[in-house]
Structure 1
Amino acid sequence: MRRVHFCLLFKTLLLVSVVQAQEIHLGADVVSRYVWRGMDFGESMSVQPGLSLSVGALTVGTWASYALTASGAGANEHDLYLSLDLGALSVGVTDYYFPAPNGAKFFDFDDDGQGAHYLEPFIQIRGPETAPFTLHASIFAYNDPDNTIYLEGQYPFTVGDVEMRLTVGVVAGQSALYNTGDVTLVNLGLAASRTIQITEAFSLPVFVHYILNPNPRVERSYLVFGFSL
């Protein structure tokens, strides 16, 4: 019951922040595949809308991914998140919800691995401008029997007018969610993005991500194309 109350409190904080929002950001990505931390969700082209609202250092938001094919609808996702920016350090929590056809209902807060919501607190550390790395650590603390820990590092750089980013992600132990049996490298990525000027008044950000999941139980690579609106 305490965990149900925590989920409801989390959503109440989101609503309060919406009322007091000082900055609002909205948009959407269209991607050839939704690949997250080395895993393909839905094997389908997807549309990924997002909305965030900020009050000082506090940001709350919602993000979703919807497959454009009926066969991929089982991997539909709609998340809520809250983060606090403390300069070089950010902390927050994400509520993952998967509104698949005939899936768990939204108000199913069971914590047995079958509930509708997976809560993942996270912490991020950003380096200085001279070394602009990002380190991420998170744990599925709710509705994951394995309480999976995920660790990731990113490093951005530029080549001409193209923004690049290297990513390395590791699951720190056994996890049914990531299909790992021990500490496993699951996410190696190289991202490239640039903005194409279409007209004087309109430009289109485009990106390509190369992703390799070397997990022996998966061993798949992906090349994802997308654009942002």
Structure 2
Amino acid sequence: MCFTAIGLCSLPAENAKAQDVDFGADFVNRYVWRGIDFGKSASIQPTIEFTSGGFTAGTWASYAMSPVENSTVSAVGASEHDLYLSYSFGNVSVGVTDYYFPTGSEIFNFDDDGAGAHYIEPNISIAGPESFPVTFYGAINAYNDPDHSIYLEASVPFSVGDTDMAVTIGGVPAESNYYGTTKAGLINMNLSVSREIEITDKFSLPIFGGYILNPYAEQSYLVFGLSL
């Protein structure tokens, strides 16, 4: 038995080094995911994640910090609690995410065809070498989405001074009610930035942001957040 969060472990040292538990929370002025604004509200986004070698398991959530009565997105979209698993080998990562929208839906409602509270999404990510640092990502809603919506994305990281940056372009290849499209289109063009602000010699505050454009919906967003 191993309690990595408090440093008590009976595993061999070489195995202990390969395991870790991380937890924290992000605070964002808007929760914009794949070019879609969920809830039109500032949100708090807690997470707990366990890693062991190439295996990762975790839970992540987003909760709106203000009412959503005036939102074009339903209240269901303003509250989200996900579970995810992934395994990385070399430059490839494969995983599956269970997207659960709890507002007005029971956690054990696993109905299909858009009637349930859970969407199951297998995904794959392939990172290029240093000579071609492009990461390709693909995902499909395999359960509870009548359209079986597919999302495809490519991103390129770079840095300017002390700021880490990335350009991401993502879209859907066909009609998707889940992503709000009636045909193929670009829904996510994102210029993201992140850096750490040194508070003391032992503590730095990570901050991040992004300019996000959804060409299909003709909407843009400027997002700012910080991590604890």
Name structure 2 gaps, 5 residues minimum. Answer: 1-15
| Amino acid in the other structure paired with 1:99 | P
Paired residues, number: 206
In the alignment, which of 86, 101, 107 is matched to residue 98 of structure 1? 101
- Which position in structure 1 is the counterpart of 2:220? 221
| Amino acid in the other structure paired with 2:139 | S
Rounded Cα–Cα distance in structure 2 between residues aligned with 1:70 and 1:167: 30
Q: CA deviation at 1:99?
A: 1.2
Whichever structure has more helix as a proportion of its residues is: 1
Return 144-153 or 191-200, whichever deviates more: 191-200
Rounded Cα–Cα distance in structure 1 between residues aligned with 2:59 and 2:132: 30
TM-align CA RMSD: 1.5
After superposition, residues 85-164 of structure 1 pair within 5 angstroms as 85-100=88-103, 103-164=104-165
Sequence identity of aligned pairs in percent? 57
Rounded Cα–Cα distance in structure 2 between residues aligned with 1:52 and 1:200: 26
Give the SS at the match of 1:70.
coil
In the alignment, which of 36, 41, 56 is matched to residue 39 of structure 1? 36
TM-score, normalised via structure 1 length: 0.87
- Which position in structure 2 is the counterpart of 1:9? none
| Amino acid in the other structure paired with 2:64 | A
| Amino acid in the other structure paired with 1:52 | E
Give the SS at the match of 2:63.
strand
Q: After TM superposition, what 4+ stretches of structure 1 lie above 4 angstroms from structure 2?
A: none
- Which position in structure 2 is the counterpart of 1:82? 85
- Which position in structure 1 is the counterpart of 2:7? none
In the alignment, which of 57, 62, 66 is matched to residue 63 of structure 2? 66
Deviations 1:49-89 (A, max 9, x none): 11111222111110000110132753110000000101111
TM-score, normalised via structure 2 length: 0.87
Give the SS at the match of 2:58.
strand
Q: CA deviation at 1:26?
A: 1.1
